[in-house]
Amino acid sequence: MLHPDSILGTGGDASGEPLLAVDEIQGNVLPGFGANFMTFVGLKIVPGAEDGARRWLRELAPCLTTLRQMTGVREVRRAVARATGVRPQMPDLLLNIVLAHSALAALGLDAGGVEPIFTRSMREANFHDPEGVEWQLGDTPEKSPDVLLIVGSDVETIVTDFVASLPGRLDGLRAVYVEPGALLGGDIEHFGFRDGISQPGVRGRLSERPDHVLTRRYFDSGDPRATTYARPGQPLVWPGQFIFGYPVQVEDDPEMPGLVAEPPAPWMRNGSYMVYRRLNQNVAAFRRFAAEHAPAVSQKLGRAVSAEELQALIVGRWPDGTPLVRSPERPDPAMADDDDAVNFFSYADDEPDARIVVDGTSVTIPGAPADDAASRCPHFAHIRKVNLRDKGTDKGSPLLFRLLRRGIPFGPPFAEGEADGIGRGLLFVSYQRNLELQFMTHVETWMNAPDAPEGFGHDLVVGQSATPRFGDLHNGERLLDAPAATTWIVPTGGGFFFSPAVSVLREL
């Protein structure tokens, strides 16, 4: 399978889309590092040494990976992959810096007007996180980084060597947290499901050329979806949903740019709020739950349901990424191997065949039936709870709540028969312009609520509700129950940060 970067689409005429500040926006926000290895390094500013901290960050700023540099790396990846059919390993050192609210005053940055939740620790936020769990970061001031470095590369030693060199180079800061992450084979997460399939396409141009766009466009110009989707299943979203200083999404007209998202403080222009969550995954518990509940689910559905199918119902996809909407009975390897078909489906309406252009050749992607009644993908399936696609949510258009996800697994792969006492999970990262509207809607309102965004159960994958969690069929019949004490993903750290423009760090 060719990596998505290897398929060449077109820019089309995007002259109405804003010119992005390619040398200001940090590269993990747009378009994302996409690296094989990423390590997160948490730093505390030493009291009384604020001048040294500012100086050190200012001197490091020229080393930051920008949007311009990141798109250059991706172009090389794309060119090599197109020529060889294999995604190459890029030896670049990728580096970004994000700041916690606690760092702003020490660094001389105005904290007025920031979102209230940004000023709080993640332990104080209402995520229904279980009590009595030891956190690695974010639960006490001492373990809450003021500054978080994101260090990435496709070559592991480039990351480890840089991180190992830090202690002797720090000035005015000290390290309090170091966590390495690495992609697992097949781009899966620890439960064994392919991850990162559904990402929004961010609008915006990289230069004055009307066709030089951040997100390549693949739809044939004659297809009615060409102006609102980048490729099948990937809606185009205005950059103000993620970055301050750009037009936001208009709910009832996805083609029309909304008002510019003005930053609360001038220094926040071209910046984005970042959420970091360290999530432990108990693979053995997840599989044990599916095995124990499959017989009862089989009886309720009137047909044999395997433990593997029950896991797919909980997630909304088969492990290889095949969506239940398109193939409810079994995984489809050919579909999973097609980066356009694997994400091409909706819930409210049928998707007719799509005409896309690949390397100058027109290709037809078969359409998909609607699943409004959730007869294929349950209402409580994880991918449906957090992304209703073409359906309206209880709060409005799903496009208003999309996140840019940049997470990576940590810990060793699960071994069959293991009791799962080894730490493993996901280092969840998301970028958004509005923490309350975007991230908190997902976590507080949708994942942990049985009646939203469309009802019929909790998100049984990542929900943390203190009450017993459940999933219902579309007719309201209880399909399965998960006791409150049964959670397969447990938060063990996190924090709220801000990814400033590169020039902000240069001028500290």
For residue range 187-234, list pLDDT tens digits in order.
999 999 999 999 999 999 999 999 999 999 999 999 999 999 999 999
Output phi, psi for 171, to 5 deg.
-135, 115
225-273 per-position pLDDT tens digit: 999 999 999 999 999 999 999 999 998 899 999 999 999 999 999 999 9
Closest-CA residue to 278 (of 186, 173, 144): 144
Query: What are the DSSP calls for 325-384, one per residue?
Result: TT-SSS--HHHHT-TTGGG---SSS-B--EEEEETTEEEEE--B---TT-SSS-TTSHHH
Between the alpha carbon of residue 65 and those of residues 25, 61, 196, 203, 261, the distances in Å are 9, 9, 22, 20, 24
CB-based contact 325:371 (threshold 8 Å): yes
Q: Which two tokens stand for residue 482?
A: 């998960």
- Cis peptide leading into residue 453 (ω within 30°): yes
Q: What pLDDT score was predicted for residue 69?
A: 96
- Pair of tokens at residue 110: 């105005």
d(CA 275, CA 498): 8
Which of 207, 206, 203 has its CA nearest to residue 217?
Answer: 203
If you write DSSP's letter for every residue of 95-108 in order, what string do you get?
EEEEE-HHHHTTTT
CA distance 125 to 170: 31
What are the DSSP calls for 118-173, one per residue?
A: GGS-TTTS-S-PPTTPPPSBSSSGGGS-SEEEEEEESSHHHHHHHHHHSTTT-SSE
Helix/strand/coil for 260: strand
The predicted model scores a pTM of 0.95
Amino acid 486: pLDDT: 76
Kindly tell me if the per-residue pLDDT of 143 is higher than 80. yes
CB atoms within 10 A of CB 228: 15
Q: 72: part of which helix (H) or strand (E)?
A: helix 67-84
Contact 251, 401 (CB under 8 A): no
Q: Around Cβ 217, how many Cβ atoms within 10 Å? A: 24
Residue-level pLDDT at 44: 98
- Pairwise CA distance, residues 359 & 336, whole Å: 21
DSSP tag of 213: B
- What value does the mean pLDDT of the chain take? 92
Mean pLDDT lowest for which of 52-61, 337-346, 415-424, 425-434? 415-424
H/E element, 180: strand 173-182
pLDDT of 12 reads: 67
Residue 482 host element (H or E) = strand 478-482
